[in-house]
Structure 1
C-alpha cells in the first residue's frame, strides 16, 4: 500500500512538471485528473488501514490487561467499537493529508476504555479492580484511600444450656439430690462507628467506637425444689463499648511469588461498663439462706481491662480468587475493682487478669465481577483462663473461663457507588464457646 502510494505520488509530480514545461494536451489533462483521483483515494485508504492497525494494537493490549485481571470496570464493560464508527472520515480532497504522529503515521484517538500505548496497558494491569479493593479493605490491607468512614451493625445470638446436679450418688447408680437446668440466652446488637486514616501509602490509623445493647434471659429449672418449675428473669444493658485504636503498616508489597504482608497493632481501652461491681438481684434462696437463683441488675458493655494486640495479615490475589489469612496475639493487663465477687451478700475488692488470647484465620474470596465479591473464611480465638486475686490473697484461676471460639464466615461485598461499599457477613458458630450465629452489615465510605 505504501509503495503504491509512493509510485502514484511520483507519477503525479512528474505529470505536473511536464505540464508546466510543455504545452498541455487534452490527453495529458485527463491523465492528470485520473492520477490525482487515484492518489486521493489511496491516501484515504492508507489512512484507514493505519487507523485499523492502531485500533487492533490497542484492543490486543486491552485484552491482555483484562485477562490479567487488572482492568477497571470501564475497560471491561466498554464494547469494541467498529472501525467505521471509531475512525473519523478523511476528506477526499487531493490536498488533504492525515495528521501524522511521532512515527509519521496517522494519530488516531483510542476508543473509550482502551489503552492507547503499551505504557498505559501496563498501568492498567497494576490497577486494583474494585471488587479486589473491597476485599482488601475488609481485611485491613488497603492503603490507597485517604479517609474512610465506616458504619457497621452486628447482631450476635448466644444460647447456652447447663445441667446442674446438687447431691450425691448412692450405690454408684442412684442420684440423691436436686437437678436443675440452667439456660442463658443473650442477644447483642453492636453499632460500630469507625474511621480509617491513610497517613502514608504504607500506614493507616484506625479508631473504632462501638455502642452496645444487650439483652440476656436467665432460666433455671427446679425452682422451689420442683423439678418441673422454671424460673426466668431478663436483664438489659446498653452504652458505650470499649474503644479501640489500631494501626496497619504495609511491610511487604505483593509480588508474583509473595503475598502482601501487613503488620497490625492495636490497643483497646476500658471505656465500656465493666462486668465487675454490678449489683445482683436474688430471686430464690433455700431454707438455709443459700442463694439458688440470682441475676445481675444490668448487662456490661465492656471487658473492664486494657488490652494490646499484635498480628500479621497476608493477602494474595490469584485471579479470580483472593487468598487471605491472619494470625495474632492479644494481651490483657491486670485491673483492680472495688468488687470482683458475684455474691450479692458480700463485697470483695481485688484484681482481675483476663486470659490472653491467640487468634488466627484464613479465607478465600472470589471476585464475581467488578462490583461484587463472595468470601468464605474460618476464624478461631483461643483464650486462656482468667485469674482473680482478692486483696491480701494469692492469685487463683477461674475455672471455666478459658474458651475456644471458632466461626465459619460467609461474606459478600457490593460496590454501591464510587465511594461506598456494602459488606454483609454471616458467621456460624462451630464450638460451644462461640455465638450461635452472627449477622453483620458494614458500609465503608471513602472520602
Structure 2
C-alpha cells in the first residue's frame, strides 16, 4: 500500500512533464511549419533567379562579344541561395526539432568564384534589357548605345551601277528633267561615300545620332543626241564630290524584350539638303533644255545631295530565338516639296521648272544573324524600297514611274576588343533599278 501510495503521489509530476513535452512538440511543429514556408519562398526565389539567368545566357550566346566563361560562372551564383533556409535558423532550433536523432553535419558552404561579383541575397542579378547585337547590314542599327556612352563610327561605302536609272542612297535623278531630250542607252555610275557617324546614349532606351557624309561620284553615260542624224553612241563623262546631306536620327526602345520575346525600337530620321543638288549644277543645254535639240541634257557636274528635305519614321524589331536573332524594319520616307525650282543651263541661264516633289519611299527589310563565337558573327538579309512617282506642278511628271529597289545583303562583324569592332556588308541588286553592287565597311569605336 505504501508503494502504491508513492506511485500515486508521483503521477501529478509525470502529468506535468507530459504537458511540457506536448507544449514543446507543438512549438517544434510550429517551427517546422515556418521552415516549410521559408523553403517554399526560397524555391520561388530560386526559380526567379534562374529565369533572370536565362536572359543572361541568351545575351552571351549572341554576338555581344562577352566571354562565354563569364556566363558559366554566373550560373553558380544562385546555387548558393539553396542553403539560405538552413542558414537563417540557429542550430539549436534544428536540434530541438529532432531530439532523439543525431544532428546532421552542416553542409559545406559553396565557395563562390572570385571572378564573379557576389549578388545581394534575395535579389535577382540585373538582366540586360538591351537588344542583342548583330552584324549590321542595314543602314539603321538595331542595338542602342548604352547610357552615357559615345560611339564614333567612320564608314566607307562603294556603289557600282550599270543601268538606265540611278538611285543611290537618297540620290535620285528626276526623269522629268531629261525625258524627250536624250536617248540614254546605259549609265555606268561609281559612287564612294565616306561617312562619319556619332551616336550618344541618352538613357537605357534612348539615343541620338548624327551623320555627316562626303560623296565622290563618277558616271559614264552612253547616249546620243536627238535630231543629230547619227547612229553612233557617244560617251559623256561627269563627276562630282563634296559634302552630302547631313542626317539626324533619334531612336527609342519601346519595350523590354527577351528570349522568344521581340524587341521594338522606334526611330525618326531627318535628312537635310546640305549637299549640292541636281538643280544647282550646270546642265548641258544651250539656252534651255525643254524643246531644244542642242546639247545632251545631262548635268556637267554630278550632285552630292538629293535636293529635297525629308522625314522618315520607322520601327525596327529584333526577335531572339536561340541560336539566331531575326530582325527587320518598316519605314516611310516623306520628301518635302520645293517651290519655284529652276535649273542652270550653259551660259548661266536659269530655266524655270516650277514646283517639284520627289516621290515618297516605302521601305522594309528583314534578316537573320548568327554568332559564330564570342567575337565573330554573320548576318543575311533583304532590303526593299518602293519609290513613288515624281510630281511637277501638282501632277505626275511626264515619264516618271514607280521604282522598286531590292538588295540582297550579306555581312559579318568581328570584335577586336571591348571598344573597337569591324562590320562589313555586301549588297547585290536584285532589280534593274538597284545598284549592282554595294560594299560597306564600318568601324564603330566606343568611348
1:277–1:338: 8 Å Cα contact kept in structure 2?
no
Match of 1:197 among 192, 197, 200: 200
2:216–2:241: 8 Å Cα contact kept in structure 1?
yes
- What is the count of residue pairs matched by the alignment? 343
CA displacement, residues 373-407 of structure 1 (integer Å, 9 cap, x when unaligned): 11011110001101112xxxx64424235311010
Match of 2:58 among 69, 72, 76: 69
C-alpha distance in 1 between matches for 2:112 and 2:445: 33
2:209–2:249: 8 Å Cα contact kept in structure 1?
yes
C-alpha distance in 1 between matches for 2:424 and 2:277: 30
C-alpha distance in 1 between matches for 2:397 and 2:414: 46
Is residue 2:359 matched to residue 1:355? yes
C-alpha distance in 1 between matches for 2:138 and 2:297: 46
Deviation at 1:110, TM superposition (A): 3.6
TM-score (norm 2): 0.66
* Alignment map for 1:257-268 (pairs within 5 Å): 257-268=260-271
Q: Which residue of 2 aligns with 1:142?
A: 144
CA displacement, residues 251-280 of structure 1 (integer Å, 9 cap, x when unaligned): 111144530011111111111111114212
Is residue 2:246 matched to residue 1:243? yes
Deviation at 1:197, TM superposition (A): 1.1
CA displacement, residues 31-77 of structure 1 (integer Å, 9 cap, x when unaligned): xxxxxxxxxxxxxxxxxxxxxxxxxxxxxx9xx86994344743438
2:136–2:425: 8 Å Cα contact kept in structure 1?
no
Q: Which residue of 2 aligns with 1:311?
A: 314
Is residue 2:324 matched to residue 1:335? no
Match of 2:278 among 270, 275, 279: 275
Is residue 2:216 matched to residue 1:213? yes
C-alpha distance in 1 between matches for 2:136 and 2:234: 48
Structure 1: state its 5+ residue gaps: 1-60, 81-100, 163-178
1:70–1:124: 8 Å Cα contact kept in structure 2?
no
The residue matched to 1:315 in structure 2 has which SS?
strand
C-alpha distance in 1 between matches for 2:133 and 2:108: 38
Structure 2: state its 5+ residue gaps: 1-49, 74-85, 89-105, 166-181
The residue matched to 1:347 in structure 2 has which SS?
strand
Q: Which residue of 2 aligns with 1:400?
A: 400
CA RMSD of aligned residues (A): 3.9
Q: Which residue of 2 aligns with 1:154?
A: 157
1:191–1:212: 8 Å Cα contact kept in structure 2?
yes
* Alignment map for 1:314-325 (pairs within 5 Å): 314-325=317-328
1:258–1:316: 8 Å Cα contact kept in structure 2?
yes
TM-score (norm 1): 0.66
1:404–1:431: 8 Å Cα contact kept in structure 2?
yes
Deviation at 1:343, TM superposition (A): 9.3
1:246–1:266: 8 Å Cα contact kept in structure 2?
yes
Deviation at 1:306, TM superposition (A): 1.1
C-alpha distance in 2 between matches for 1:253 and 1:66: 12
CA displacement, residues 178-231 of structure 1 (integer Å, 9 cap, x when unaligned): x9662111101001111111111111111111111110111125896443x331
2:135–2:379: 8 Å Cα contact kept in structure 1?
no
CA, structure 1 residues 328+110, in 2 after alignment: closer, same or farther (shift >3 Å)?
same
1:70–1:125: 8 Å Cα contact kept in structure 2?
no
C-alpha distance in 1 between matches for 2:247 and 2:266: 16
* Alignment map for 1:72-221 (pairs within 5 Å): 73-76=66-69, 109-111=111-113, 123=125, 126=128, 132=134, 139-145=141-147, 146-161=149-164, 182-220=185-223
1:153–1:442: 8 Å Cα contact kept in structure 2?
yes
2:132–2:320: 8 Å Cα contact kept in structure 1?
no
1:324–1:363: 8 Å Cα contact kept in structure 2?
yes
C-alpha distance in 2 between matches for 1:139 and 1:120: 36
C-alpha distance in 1 between matches for 2:345 and 2:388: 21
C-alpha distance in 2 between matches for 1:439 and 1:73: 28
Deviation at 1:141, TM superposition (A): 3.0
C-alpha distance in 2 between matches for 1:262 and 1:129: 9
C-alpha distance in 1 between matches for 2:402 and 2:425: 26
Deviation at 1:421, TM superposition (A): 1.3
Deviation at 1:422, TM superposition (A): 0.5
CA displacement, residues 330-367 of structure 1 (integer Å, 9 cap, x when unaligned): 11111135414879987114221111110001100101
2:129–2:258: 8 Å Cα contact kept in structure 1?
no
2:135–2:423: 8 Å Cα contact kept in structure 1?
no
CA, structure 1 residues 108+198, in 2 after alignment: closer, same or farther (shift >3 Å)?
same
* Alignment map for 1:297-446 (pairs within 5 Å): 297-340=300-343, 347-389=351-393, 395-446=395-446
2:153–2:197: 8 Å Cα contact kept in structure 1?
yes
* Bigger mean CA offset, 143-152 vs 332-341: 332-341
The residue matched to 1:348 in structure 2 has which SS?
strand
